[in-house]
C-alpha cells in the first residue's frame, strides 16, 4: 500500500494548501520546485479519485432508496 492510499481527503488538501502557499510566497527553491509540483499533481489526482468514489457511492445510495 502506497503512502498516498492512507491519506484522507482533508490531509491531501492540507498538503496541497501548504505547497500552494509556499509557491505563492516564493518560498520554494528552484531545485525543489519540480518535485513539489509533481507532488501537487499526485495529490490532486488522489483527491479527484476520492471525490469520484464518493460521488459513485452517494449515487448508489440514492438508487437503493428509490
Q: Give pLDDT tens digits for 10-60.
A: 999 999 999 999 989 988 888 899 999 999 999 999 999 999 999 999 999
Q: Look at residue 1 in the predicted model and tell me its pLDDT.
A: 45
Distance CA 60, CA 52 (A): 12
Determine contact, residues 15/43, Cβ cutoff 8 Å. yes
Q: pTM of the entire structure?
A: 0.80
Tally of CB atoms within 10 A around 1:
5
Question: With bands split at pLDDT 50, 70 and 90, how would you rate the model's confidence at 2?
Answer: low
Burial of 43 (0-12, 13-18, 19+ CB in 10 A): buried
- pLDDT for residue 13: 98
Task: With a cut of 80, say whether residue 3 has pLDDT above it.
Answer: no
The end-to-end CA distance of the chain, in Å, is: 36
Q: How many whole angstroms separate alpha carbon 9 and alpha carbon 32?
A: 24
Amino acid at each position: 500500500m502506497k503512502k498516498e492510499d492512507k491519506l484522507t481527503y482533508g490531509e491531501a488538501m492540507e498538503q496541497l494548501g501548504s505547497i500552494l502557499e509556499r509557491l505563492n510566497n516564493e518560498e520554494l527553491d528552484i531545485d525543489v520546485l519540480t518535485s513539489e509540483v509533481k507532488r501537487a499533481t499526485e495529490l490532486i489526482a488522489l483527491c479527484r479519485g476520492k471525490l469520484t468514489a464518493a460521488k459513485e457511492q452517494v449515487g448508489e445510495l440514492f438508487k437503493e432508496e428509490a
